[in-house]
C-alpha cells in the first residue's frame, strides 16, 4: 500500500488530511523522534506526547484534522503483522469441521416433526473470528481463577456447540437435541447462550441485542473493581464481546462507551462482526457501517482496529502508489460490497475495477476466479491474530476490532451475502454437496442423499483434535465453562438487625431509610461487610445514603484528584481507588449492568459479592426490565431496591415518576422474590432471609426486589410474638380489631398499612365494625405459592391436596376482605382466586400526577376513608349493613371531592 506522502489527500473534518511536504528532512526528524519515543518509552508515553502536541497545536490555532475515521483498509499494515504461532493448515481443517457440524445441527433441527428453527449464517460469517480466539487467546479457568469472560454473539451459538462436540464436551445426541430442552432432557441444548438453562456451560446471556456490549463493559469494570478492593486477582482476565454490526444500532450497544474509555479499561475488547447485514438487509446500504462505527468508537476514546481485507488484497494495495484503489474502497457503499460478495469475478472486474484504467491494470494478470476470491479480513486467521494480539497489547484504552466478513460465508451461493440468509435454516442436498466440497470434507454423496446429513468428526486421535486439546490446555482450559467455586458466606447474627427491630420511636422515617439503616449495620459486619456493593444512579443523597460517603467511599480508579466543594462537611463526597460504592452516573442501564456483574461474581471469579442497587422504582422493571431477565438468566444474585415506590408518594414529581405497577412487572420474572414491606422489622426479616437464600448453605439463584417508600412514618418495634413466617410468606395479621359488631379484614401492603390502621379505627368508632389489619408483605409470593399448590394438585390428584398459604391464613378470618395498596389493583388481585369469602381490591389505577399525598389518595380512593367505604360496601353486599350507609359515608367524608382530603404527611420528597 502506498505511504501517506504518496497518496491523494482525504478530507477529514473539513480539512485535508495531508498538505504538501516542503521539508521532507525535517518531517523525517519528527517521525524518527516519535519512533524513538515508542521504542524507548513505550506506546503509552508516546500516546501522551501526541495528545500534548495536539493540545498545543490547538492552543497555537494550528488547524489539525480530527481523525475520526481512516481509510477503508486494515489498521495493521502487513509489515507490522506478528508471527502467526499456529498451524494454519490444521486450524483450517478444524474450522471446516466446526462449520459443517454447526450448519448440519441446525439443518437437522428442521427434520419432520421437529422444525424448531436455528441460525446458520451468523456463525458462518464469524467462525474464523472465534476460532483464532479459541486457539490462541481465550483463557480458561483451570488455574482456579476467573479466566477470560467471553460474551458470545447469541446467534453464533451453533458454532460453539459444534466446536464443543469435536472436543467431546458434547455428544451427537446432544447436538440432535438442539432447541429441544424438555422433550430431549437431559440432552437438550438451549437455543442461545442461556446460563440458567445450561449452568455448567454458558456464562453470559447475550441474545437480547445490545445487552452483550453493555454487560461486557461493566464486567470489565467489575474485574477492576474487585482487584482494586482486594477481593479477587483479576489481572489476567480479559473480557471479549462478540457483536454484530446491526446490533450496534441498539442504544445499549454504544450508550456506555465513555465509561470504558474514561476508566481506561484495556482489559476489554469488542469484536464487531461487520458482515454488513442486518436480519432483513444491509446495515448501511448507502453508507459504510465500519467507517461510522470507527468514528463513534474513536470519538468515545477507544482504540480502533479495522480488519477489512484478507491477505489476497496485499499485493494490490502495495501497487496503489497514487491511492486510487484506496479511494475506490473508501467511496464504495456497503450495499455494493454486499452485491460483490454474491457476484462473479467478471462482474467485479467490470464494476469495481473497470471504471479507471489504473484499477484495471492492477488486476489484468488476475483470473476472474482470483478476483472473485478477493476476501474479507474477518476470514483470515493471520490477520485476525494480528488484530487480537494488538488489542491485548494495547494499554490505557479499550479496543474495538471492526472485522469485515460475509454473512453465510462458505455456505454456498444460495446463502452467502443474501438478504434472506438470516432466516434460512435448512440446506438442500445440492447445498450440502457444494458446502462439503468447499470445506474439503471426506463425506460421500450417498450420506448426503439418504436421510439426515451426518455430523463429521475426524477421530479422537486425529491430528486436528489433538491440536484443539493442546491449544485449550495451553490456554488454561475449555471455554465456555461456568464454574461455581464460591463457598457459603458466614451470615451476620441478630445484632445486625437489632436496630431495625427496635422501631423508630417518636421519629418518623421512610422505609427507604429503614432499609439504609439495616444496610449500614450489615456493611459493618467483619465477615461479609466488605462484600456489599452499593449501586445507585446518581441518587445516593435522595435515598439517604450520603452517610456512606466518608467511610465506604465511591469507587474511582483515579481516586479524587480535585478538592471536593463540600470537603469540610461531615458527609463530604469522597472518591477512592478502593471505594466500595459504585456511582455510575445517571444511567439505570449502566447500574443494572453493574448489578449483574457483581451479582454473578460468585461464579465468574469464585468470590461472592452482594450488590444492593437502589433506584427510583419507576425506572426499574419498566425501564430496564430486559436486563432483569438477563440477570435471571445469568443466575445473578443480590438486592434490588425500588425506592420512592408507589403511585401517590412522590407528590411533586408527576406522571413519569409515579410507580404503581413495578410489583406487577416483577411478578413476571421467575427469579425475582418481590416484597412490599411496611416497617423496618419486616425489612430486617426479609433481608436476613434473602442473605440466607442467596449466600448461605444450599444457595438459590434468585434475587430480591423490595419496594420502599419516601414517606415518613412511625415504625413500631417488632412485636414479641411476631409472625416471622407470615412476613416471609407474604401475609400476617398485624393488628386485630378491638370492637364492633361486624367483622371484616383489611389487607394492606407497604405505605398503605398506616391508612388501613386509620380506617380500622374509624370503622370501630363510627360504624360498629371490627376490622383486622393484615400486612401483605408480598402479593407476588402469595400468588407464587398458590400457583405451585394448584400445579401440584393438578398433576397429583391421588395425593393429599395442597392448600395455598393465603387460603390457610385467612380460613378463619371472618367477614369480607378488602385489599389496599399504592399499586394498581392488578397487584393485589393476583391472589383473588385463593382468598376465601368476599374480596375487593382498592388501588391506584391510571396515570400518576403531582399533588399532595392526601389529594392523590382521595382521587384514587385508597385513603383511609375510602377503605372505610370499601369495607362497608362489601358488608352491604353480604347483607350485614344497610346500603344507605354507603351514601352516608360518601357524604360524611366528601369522598367525591378531592380537595376535601387532608393533605397528608409532608416531607420525604425527592
Q: What is the pLDDT of residues 829-838, one digit of tens each?
A: 999 999 999 9
CA atoms of 320 and 71, how far apart (whole Å): 13
Strands (E), 484-626: 508-509, 532-536, 554-555, 575-576, 582-583, 610-616
Mean pLDDT, rounded, for 743-771: 98
Residue 403 pLDDT greater than 70, yes or no: yes
**pLDDT range class, residue 218, cuts 50, 70, 90:** very high
| Percent share of the chain, pLDDT over 90 | 85
Cβ-contact 134, 435 below 8 angstroms? no
Alpha-carbon dihedral 442, 91, 164, 392, rounded to 10 degrees: -160
**CB burial of residue 722 (10 Å; 0-12, 13-18, 19+):** middle
Nearest to 12 by CA among 74, 70, 73, 55: 70
Mean pLDDT, rounded, for 547-572: 90
Helix (H) or strand (E) holding 628: helix 621-633
CA atoms of 764 and 907, how far apart (whole Å): 30
Three cell numbers written together for 746: 383489611
Mean pLDDT, rounded, for 772-797: 98
CA atoms of 762 and 495, how far apart (whole Å): 38
Cβ-contact 240, 271 below 8 angstroms? yes
Q: DSSP secondary-structure letter at 581?
A: B
Interval 855-902: pLDDT, tens = 999 999 999 999 999 999 999 999 999 999 999 999 999 999 999 998
Q: 850 vs 80, 91, 331, 701, 853, CA distance in Å?
A: 64, 65, 55, 39, 9
Greatest alpha-carbon span in the chain: 106
Nearest to 499 by CA among 640, 734, 684: 684
Bigger pLDDT: 165 vs 322: 165
Residue reference for cell 416433526 = 113
Cβ-contact 412, 100 below 8 angstroms? no
Q: 265 vs 52, 164, 239, 399, CA distance in Å?
A: 21, 30, 10, 9
**CB burial of residue 279 (10 Å; 0-12, 13-18, 19+):** middle
Interval 293-316: pLDDT, tens = 999 999 999 999 999 999 999 999
The count of other CB atoms within 10 Å of the CB of residue 551 is 12
Interval 502-520: pLDDT, tens = 999 999 999 999 999 999 9
CA atoms of 501 and 524, how far apart (whole Å): 17
As a whole number of Å, the CA-based R_g of the chain is: 32
Q: What angle do CA 362, 365, 366 make, to 5 degrees?
A: 90
Cβ-contact 446, 163 below 8 angstroms? no
Beta bridge partners of 581: 554
Within 13 Å and on the Cβ side, how many CA atoms surround 448?
19
Where are the alpha helices (H) located in 117-171, listed in sequence order?
Answer: 121-136, 157-166
Nearest to 866 by CA among 886, 837, 838, 836: 886
Residue 6 pLDDT greater than 60, yes or no: no
Q: In what order do the strands lie in the sheet with 639-643?
A: 582-583, 532-536, 610-616, 639-643, 703-707, 672-675
- Residue-averaged pLDDT of the chain: 93
Beta bridge partners of 704: 639, 673
Bridge pairing between strands 239-244 and 268-274: parallel
Residues 6+ apart with CB under 8 A from 909: 650, 651, 652, 653, 710
Helix (H) or strand (E) holding 390: helix 381-393
Residue 15 pLDDT greater than 50, yes or no: no
Residues 6+ apart with CB under 8 A from 59: none
**CB burial of residue 151 (10 Å; 0-12, 13-18, 19+):** buried
Interval 66-93: pLDDT, tens = 667 889 999 999 999 999 999 999 999 9
This prediction's pTM: 0.92
**What's the pLDDT at 65?**
64
Q: 684 vs 320, 494, 710, 712, CA distance in Å?
A: 72, 10, 18, 18
- CA torsion through residues 200, 204, 208, 209, sign: negative
**What's the pLDDT at 18?**
47
Bridge pairing between strands 610-616 and 532-536: parallel
Helix (H) or strand (E) holding 467: helix 463-474
**pLDDT range class, residue 7, cuts 50, 70, 90:** very low
Mean pLDDT, rounded, for 678-698: 98
**pLDDT range class, residue 62, cuts 50, 70, 90:** confident
**What's the pLDDT at 539?**
87
Q: 689 vs 11, 493, 523, 609, 819, CA distance in Å?
A: 63, 12, 17, 17, 26
Residue 760 pLDDT greater than 50, yes or no: yes
Helix (H) or strand (E) holding 839: strand 839-842
**What's the pLDDT at 13?**
45
**What's the pLDDT at 387?**
98
Residue 21 pLDDT greater than 90, yes or no: no
Mean pLDDT, rounded, for 447-476: 96
Q: DSSP secondary-structure letter at 363?
A: T
Residue 496 pLDDT greater than 70, yes or no: yes
Nearest to 847 by CA among 613, 566, 657: 657
Residues 6+ apart with CB under 8 A from 842: 818, 819, 820, 821, 825, 860, 861, 862, 866, 867, 870
Bridge pairing between strands 399-404 and 732-735: unpaired
Beta bridge partners of 610: 532
Cβ-contact 153, 206 below 8 angstroms? yes
Interval 597-630: pLDDT, tens = 999 999 999 999 999 999 999 998 999 999 999 9
Residue 280 pLDDT greater than 90, yes or no: no
SS (H, E, C) 707-764: ECCCCCEECCCCCCCCCHHHHHHCCEEEECCCCCCEEEEEEECHHHHHHHHHHHHHHH
Mean pLDDT, rounded, for 383-409: 96
Per mean pLDDT, which range of 15-19, 224-228, 349-353, 703-707 is the poorest? 15-19
Three cell numbers written together for 664: 406487577
CA atoms of 753 and 679, how far apart (whole Å): 9
The count of other CB atoms within 10 Å of the CB of residue 417 is 24
**pLDDT range class, residue 423, cuts 50, 70, 90:** low
3-class DSSP state of 295:
helix
**What's the pLDDT at 425?**
64
Cβ-contact 720, 730 below 8 angstroms? no
3-class DSSP state of 237:
coil
Mean pLDDT, rounded, for 309-331: 94
**What's the pLDDT at 3?**
38
Nearest to 239 by CA among 223, 254, 251, 255: 223
**What's the pLDDT at 66?**
66
Mean pLDDT, rounded, for 736-754: 97
Amino acid at each position: 500500500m502506498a505511504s501517506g506522502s504518496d497518496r491523494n489527500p482525504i478530507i477529514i473534518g473539513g480539512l485535508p488530511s495531508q498538505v504538501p511536504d516542503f521539508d521532507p528532512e525535517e518531517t523525517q526528524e519528527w517521525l524518527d523522534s516519535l519512533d524513538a519515543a515508542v521504542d524507548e518509552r513505550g506506546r503509552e508515553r508516546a500516546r501522551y506526547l501526541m495528545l500534548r502536541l495536539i493540545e498545543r497545536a490547538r492552543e497555537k490555532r494550528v488547524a489539525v484534522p480530527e481523525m475520526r475515521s481512516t481509510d477503508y483498509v486494515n489498521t495493521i499494515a502487513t509489515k507490522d503483522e506478528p508471527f502467526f504461532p499456529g498451524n494454519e493448515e490444521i486450524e483450517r481443517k478444524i474450522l471446516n469441521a466446526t462449520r459443517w457440524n454447526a450448519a448440519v445441527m441446525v439443518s437437522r433441527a428442521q427434520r419432520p416433526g421437529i422444525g424448531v428453527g436455528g441460525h446458520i449464517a451468523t456463525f458462518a460469517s464469524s467462525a474464523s473470528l472465534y476460532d483464532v480466539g479459541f486457539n490462541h487467546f481465550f483463557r480458561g479457568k483451570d488455574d482456579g481463577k476467573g479466566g477470560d469472560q467471553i460474551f458470545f454473539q447469541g446467534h453464533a451459538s451453533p458454532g460453539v456447540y459444534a466446536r464443543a462436540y469435536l472436543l467431546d464436551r458434547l455428544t451427537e445426541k446432544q447436538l440432535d437435541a438442539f432447541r429441544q430442552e424438555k422433550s430431549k432432557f437431559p440432552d437438550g441444548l438451549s437455543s442461545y447462550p442461556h446460563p440458567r438453562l445450561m449452568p455448567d456451560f454458558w456464562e453470559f446471556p447475550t441474545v437480547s441485542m445490545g445487552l452483550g456490549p453493555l454487560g461486557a463493559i461493566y464486567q470489565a469494570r467489575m474485574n477492576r473493581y474487585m482487584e482494586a478492593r482486594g477481593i479477587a486477582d483479576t489481572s489476567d482476565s480479559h473480557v471479549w464481546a462478540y457483536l454484530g454490526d446491526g446490533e450496534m444500532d441498539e442504544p445499549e450497544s454504544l450508550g456506555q462507551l465513555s465509561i470504558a474509555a474514561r476508566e481506561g479499561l484495556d482489559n476489554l475488547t469488542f469484536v464487531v462482526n461487520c458482515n454488513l447485514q442486518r436480519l432483513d438487509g444491509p446495515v448501511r446500504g448507502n453508507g459504510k457501517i465500519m467507517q461510522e462505527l470507527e468514528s463513534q468508537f474513536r470519538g468515545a476514546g477507544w482504540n480502533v482496529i479495522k480488519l477489512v481485507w484478507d491477505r489476497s488484497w496485499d499485493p494490490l494495495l502495495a501497487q496503489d502508489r497514487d491511492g486510487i484503489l484506496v479511494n475506490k474502497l473508501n467511496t464504495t457503499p456497503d450495499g455494493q460490497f454486499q452485491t460483490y460478495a454474491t457476484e462473479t469475478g467478471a462482474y467485479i472486474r467490470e464494476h469495481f475495477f473497470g471504471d479507471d484504467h489504473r484499477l484495471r491494470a492492477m488486476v489484468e494478470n488476475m483470473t476472474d476466479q482470483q478476483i472473485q476470491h478477493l476476501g474479507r479480513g474477518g476470514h483470515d486467521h493471520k490477520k485476525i491474530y494480528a488484530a487480537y494480539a494488538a488489542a491485548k497489547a494495547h494499554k490505557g484504552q479499550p479496543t474495538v476490532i471492526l472485522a469485515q466478513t460475509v454473512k453465510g460465508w462458505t455456505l454456498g451461493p444460495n446463502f452467502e451475502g443474501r438478504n434472506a440468509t438470516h432466516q434460512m435454516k435448512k440446506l438442500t442436498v445440492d447445498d450440502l454437496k457444494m458446502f462439503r466440497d468447499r470445506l474439503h470434507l471426506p463425506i460421500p454423496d450417498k450420506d448426503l442423499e439418504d436421510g439426515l446429513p451426518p455430523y463429521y468428526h475426524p477421530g479422537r486421535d486425529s491430528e486436528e483434535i489433538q491440536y484443539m486439546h493442546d491449544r485449550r490446555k495451553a490456554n488454561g482450559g475449555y471455554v465456555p465453562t461456568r464454574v461455581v467455586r464460591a463457598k457459603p458466606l458466614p451470615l451476620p447474627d441478630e445484632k445486625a438487625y437489632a436496630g431495625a427491630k427496635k422501631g423508630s420511636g417518636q421519629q418518623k422515617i421512610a422505609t427507604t431509610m429503614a432499609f439504609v439503616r439495616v444496610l449500614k449495620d450489615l456493611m459493618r459486619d467483619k465477615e461479609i461487610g466488605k462484600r456489599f456493593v452499593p449501586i445507585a444512579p446518581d441518587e445516593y443523597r435522595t435515598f439517604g445514603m450520603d452517610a456512606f460517603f466518608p467511610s465506604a467511599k465511591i469507587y474511582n480508579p483515579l481516586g479524587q484528584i480535585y478538592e471536593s466543594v463540600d470537603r469540610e462537611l461531615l458527609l463530604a463526597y469522597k472518591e477512592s481507588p478502593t471505594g466500595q460504592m459504585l456511582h455510575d452516573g445517571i444511567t439505570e442501564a449502566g447500574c443494572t449492568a453493574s448489578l449483574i456483574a457483581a451479582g454473578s461474581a460468585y461464579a465468574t471469579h469464585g468470590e461472592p459479592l452482594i450488590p444492593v442497587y437502589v433506584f427510583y422504582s419507576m425506572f426499574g422493571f419498566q425501564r430496564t426490565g430486559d436486563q432483569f431477565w438477563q440477570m435471571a438468566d445469568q443466575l445473578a444474585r443480590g438486592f434490588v431496591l425500588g425506592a420512592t415506590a408507589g403511585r401517590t408518594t412522590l407528590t411533586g414529581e408527576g406522571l413519569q415518576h409515579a410507580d404503581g405497577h413495578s410489583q406487577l412487572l416483577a411478578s413476571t420474572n421467575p427469579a425475582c422474590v418481590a416484597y412490599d414491606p411496611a416497617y423496618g422489622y419486616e425489612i430486617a426479616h426479609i433481608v436476613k432471609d434473602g442473605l440466607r437464600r442467596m449466600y448461605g448453605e444450599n444457595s438459590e439463584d434468585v434475587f430480591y426486589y423490595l419496594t420502599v417508600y419516601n414517606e415518613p412514618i412511625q415504625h413500631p418495634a417488632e412485636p414479641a410474638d411476631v409472625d416471622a413466617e407470615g412476613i416471609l410468606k407474604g401475609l400476617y395479621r398485624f393488628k386485630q380489631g378491638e370492637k364492633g359488631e361486624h367483622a371484616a379484614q383489611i389487607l394492606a401492603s407497604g405505605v398503605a398499612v398506616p391508612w388501613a390502621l386509620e380506617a380500622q379505627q374509624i370503622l370501630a368508632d363510627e360504624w360498629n365494625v371490627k376490622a383486622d389489619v393484615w400486612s401483605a408483605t408480598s402479593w407476588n409470593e402469595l400468588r407464587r405459592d398458590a400457583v405451585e399448590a394448584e400445579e401440584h394438585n393438578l398433576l397429583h390428584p391421588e395425593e393429599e391436596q395442597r392448600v395455598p398459604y393465603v387460603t390457610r391464613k385467612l380460613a378463619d378470618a371472618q367477614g369480607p376482605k378488602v385489599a389496599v395498596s399504592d399499586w394498581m389493583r392488578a397487584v393485589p388481585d393476583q391472589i383473588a382466586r385463593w382468598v376465601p369469602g368476599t374480596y375487593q381490591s382498592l388501588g391506584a389505577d391510571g396515570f400518576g400526577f403531582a399533588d399532595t399525598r392526601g389529594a392523590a389518595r382521595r382521587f384514587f380512593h385508597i385513603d383511609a376513608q375510602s377503605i372505610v367505604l370499601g369495607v362497608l360496601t362489601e358488608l352491604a353486599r353480604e347483607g350485614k349493613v344497610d346500603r344507605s350507609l354507603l351514601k352516608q359515608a360518601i357524604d360524611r367524608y366528601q369522598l367525591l371531592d378531592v380537595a376535601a382530603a387532608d393533605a397528608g404527611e409532608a416531607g420525604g420528597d425527592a
